[in-house]
Amino acid sequence: MNVAATQIDPAPVASAFDAVRARLPGTESVTERRQASFDAYASKGLPNRRIEDWKYTDLRVLMREVLPLAAAPDQAALQRAGTALAHLATRDTTKLVLVDGVFAPSLSDLAGHEAAVEIRSLAEVLRDDGNGNRADLLNINASADAMISLNAAMATDGVLITVADGASVGRPIHIVHVATQSKAATYSRSFLKLGSAARATFVESFVAAEGAAAYQANDAVVIWLGDGAELQHVRLMEDALDAINISTAVFTVGAKAKLNTFNLTSGGGVSRYQGFVSIGGEGAHVATNGVNLLKGTQHGDTTLVLNHLVPHCTSREVFRAVLDGRGHSVFQGRINVHQAAQKTDAKMMTRALLLSDEAEADNKPELEIFADDVTCGHGSTTGALDESLLFYLRARGLSEKDAQSLLIQAFIGEAIESIADDGLRDLAIAAGERWLEARS
Amino acid sequence: MALLEVKNLQVRVEEREILHGLTLSVNAGEVHAIMGPNGSGKSTLSHVIAGKPGYEVTGGEILFKGEDLLEMAPDMRAAKGVFLAFQYPVEIPGVATMTFLRTALNAQRKARGEGEFSTPDFLKKVREVAASLGIPQEMLRRGVNVGFSGGEKKRNEVLQMALFQPSLCILDEMDSGLDIDALRVAADGVNKLRSPDRAMVVITHYQRLLDYIVPDVVHVMSKGRVVKSGGKELALELEATGYAQYADAAA
């Protein structure tokens, strides 16, 4: 593995950046920001196990190289993406479609969305002459992570969504990432800003069009909740099983705001979903829940960093992993309670279910507490399906697979049930069922 | 042809032989009681008939409706009409009782090549049976057996029996942990299911249960064999004399 690491030569990547920089939207300060971000990435290279945050997900081994930037989607690609969308069984949502990291207005629902919601594409904003100073959109301060830097350098497109103060948006806003290409990399970055006392639901789906294989997706989403805002966020990652998905989500939560975020990873050969939540206003409540469903040789990493910065906030974190074959799940949950954050009430529970002897679960819950009057706790378990429950179900007529499926659904149910919206909960349940169906 | 034929059954758990050549024949329409002291192999017999893993059959056979039961997976046995009412029904958090009942019934029907029950028909049927057993609707929405009392768990077993309509019911120590009132309710439910097409094997340590579910035949098991069979009066006799004489007879 050391040999592989030392063989990485940043030069081809650097020349790849030079080759595509003209295609990347933005001028002046934006271009400078991209270059600085790329330099930051190039100086570090792919994250590896010597970097504590990436200990279990060594991209020098798992990813090895950064693929060339995907070409902008042509008519044929859009058509294939359209077919993939038709297969996406979702209820009534406002769909904003990114094909290979490029916003596709022709596939998106731009006409019907509510007046309180403003939607623009990132490329449009960065290209706009009056927006030469929008280099801030390429800044993410939550982490000095090489993959976030790479995303800032290469982000081709994304959507900026703004929900007006006090607005209550009924229809879920739904970003759908469709990959159509093979052996290419896509970079997208999106933004969601909820005004004070605004309410919305936000869904992200990652899917592959037929024939798309071995691609790399690097996505970032930056979300703000104004004071008193309420957001239900559901992310479903069902990328191709040989794809790589590295995604970052950054949440800033205002006073008395409520954030409920749920992630389900069942796709991708190698994936990392890293969430950074900052609770910056008193009286806020955050629920972060997640499920990894992995089989074959899938490697799925869910890393969540929760920062309690102010007093009187609560957070709940429930994570479940179900692992079959040689599936490898990583869960890193870190809760930082800053000195000022008295009366914080934070709990984290992670459980892994191993369906095979070769599956692996790494759980790393961490609490770092600098305040002295808090209620914090975490727990972690790893185990197999209970044989006595399996026999009971089989004695009642369920096949081995059906009995397992029922128990697995119950196991992940606790995380999925946290989704308040019935329709979105059904979407997550359906994604879980697709994984169970595909288990051989 | 008997509904259930157990012939010279020998069963091991790990290295220890528990059943040493057990023979038992049960006809449709009959209720058999199997009595015996702790450790005589009563529960082992019920587990082997239902197909619980962890038992090694080293000799003999079990025929059900003339078919080799030991060749069938537990779910196939259920679909063919074998039902084991568990001594200790398990709790399954996260699986609603109603979902479990529907999934199980439809799995059995599918295995038999029958169509799935329509939801309204199913709900009506479940509500009817639940009401007759005094099972509140609220319990059906809870996780399977989660937070149920001992009596409620046993009534839930009888509820399943009534829904699935099996042709062979094995009741493993149904009276354990029940007070007289709870026992009477469960036993009434069982008695309603007595039918010329159905056989029941009632496994119990105490005669008390047989006051409520009156058997046609009583077998006494000791040390892994049936050592005596007779009519229902045999149970009363045992109540008076205890199992000691049979322990000697089998030794």
**What are A's interface residues with B at a Cβ cutoff of 8 A?**
386-389, 391-400, 402-403, 406-407, 409-411, 413-414
- Among B80, B84, B103, B160, most A C-beta atoms within 10 A, so best to mutate, is B103
* Alpha-carbon torsion (A418, A420, A422, A427), positive or negative: negative
Each residue of A277-336: pLDDT tens digit? 999 999 999 999 999 999 999 999 999 999 999 999 999 999 999 999 999 999 999 999
In B107-138, which positions are buried (b, 16+ CB within 10 angstroms) versus exposed (e)?
bbbebeeeeebeeeebeeebeebbeebebeee
**Which neighbouring-strand residues pair with A251?**
A223, A277
Q: What is the pLDDT of residue B194?
A: 95
Q: What is the pLDDT of residue B247?
A: 67
Q: What is the pLDDT of residue A182?
A: 97
* Alpha-carbon torsion (A55, A57, A63, A67), positive or negative: negative
Question: Which tokens hold the place of B109?
Answer: 């029907």
For the ranges A27-31, A119-123, A308-312, B26-30, the lowest mean pLDDT is seen at: A27-31
Residues 6+ away with beta carbon under 8 Å from A28? A132
Alpha-carbon span A404 to A412, nearest angstrom: 12
Question: Across the interface, do B95 and A399 touch by the CB < 8 Å criterion?
Answer: no
Strand A270-279's sheet: what is its strand order?
A: A117-121, A159-163, A185-194, A216-225, A244-253, A270-279, A299-308, A328-337, A360-369
Residue type, A175: I
Question: Across the interface, do B75 and A407 touch by the CB < 8 Å criterion?
Answer: no
Query: DSSP string of A355-417?
Result: -STT-EEEEEEEEEE--SS-EEEEEEEEEPPPHHHHHHHHHTT--HHHHHHHHHHHHHHHHHT
Q: What is the pLDDT of residue A132?
A: 65
Contact of A211 with A178, CB cutoff 8 Å: no
Q: What is the pLDDT of residue A3?
A: 41
Span B84-90, mean pLDDT?
Answer: 95
Residue B94 with chain A: CB contacts under 8 Å:
409-411, 413-414
Q: What is the pLDDT of residue A34?
A: 93
Residue A90 has pLDDT above 90, yes or no: no
Residue B248 has pLDDT above 80, yes or no: no
Each residue of B221-233: pLDDT tens digit? 999 999 999 999 9
Residue B74 with chain A: CB contacts under 8 Å:
391, 394-395
Question: Across the interface, do A397 and B164 touch by the CB < 8 Å criterion?
Answer: yes
Helix/strand number for chain B, H first, E second: 10, 12
Mean pLDDT, chain A, rounded, equals 93
Least CB-CB distance to B84: which of A388, A395, A398? A395
Q: What is the pLDDT of residue A5?
A: 44
Closest CA to A97 of A164, A169, A186, A213: A186
Q: What is the pLDDT of residue A113?
A: 73
Closest CA to B50 of A155, A388, A102: A388
Q: Give the residue on A whose Cα is nearest the Cα of B46.
A: A395
Residue A400 with chain B: CB contacts under 8 Å:
73, 75
Query: DSSP string of A287-344?
Result: EEEEEEEE-TT-EEEEEEEEEE-SSS-EEEEEEEEEE-TT-EEEEEEEEEE-TT-TT-
Alpha-carbon span B63 to B55, nearest angstrom: 17
Q: Which residue has the higher pLDDT, B128 or A279?
A: A279
> Distance of CA A299 to CAs A122, A241, A284, B115, Å?
30, 10, 33, 40
Residue A382 has pLDDT above 70, yes or no: yes
Q: Please return the burial class of A18, using the count of CB atoms within 10 Å of its CB with bins 0-12, 13-18 and 19+.
A: exposed
Residue B86 with chain A: CB contacts under 8 Å:
392, 395
Span A36-49, mean pLDDT?
Answer: 94
In B211-233, which positions are buried (b, 16+ CB within 10 angstroms) versus exposed (e)?
ebbebebbbbbbbbbbbbeeeee
Question: Which tokens hold the place of B101?
Answer: 């009942």
Alpha-carbon span A199 to A232, nearest angstrom: 8
Q: What is the pLDDT of residue B236?
A: 87
d(CA B56, nearest CA chain A) in Å: 16
Q: What is the pLDDT of residue A6?
A: 45
Query: Band of the pLDDT at B182, cuts 50, 70, 90?
Result: confident
Q: What is the pLDDT of residue B119?
A: 86
Kindly report the CA angle at A222 between A255 and A12, in degrees rounded to 5? 155
d(CA A402, nearest CA chain B) in Å: 9
Contact of A156 with A287, CB cutoff 8 Å: no
Least CB-CB distance to A397: which of B92, B93, B107? B107
Least CB-CB distance to B104: which of A397, A411, A413? A397
Residue B250 has pLDDT above 60, yes or no: no
Three-state DSSP at A249 gives: strand
Q: What is the pLDDT of residue A134?
A: 86
Span A402-420, mean pLDDT?
Answer: 93
Q: What is the pLDDT of residue A422?
A: 87
Q: Which CATH class is domain B4-250?
A: alpha beta
Span B84-102, mean pLDDT?
Answer: 94
Each residue of A145-184: pLDDT tens digit? 999 999 999 999 999 999 999 999 999 999 999 999 999 9
d(CA B184, nearest CA chain A) in Å: 24
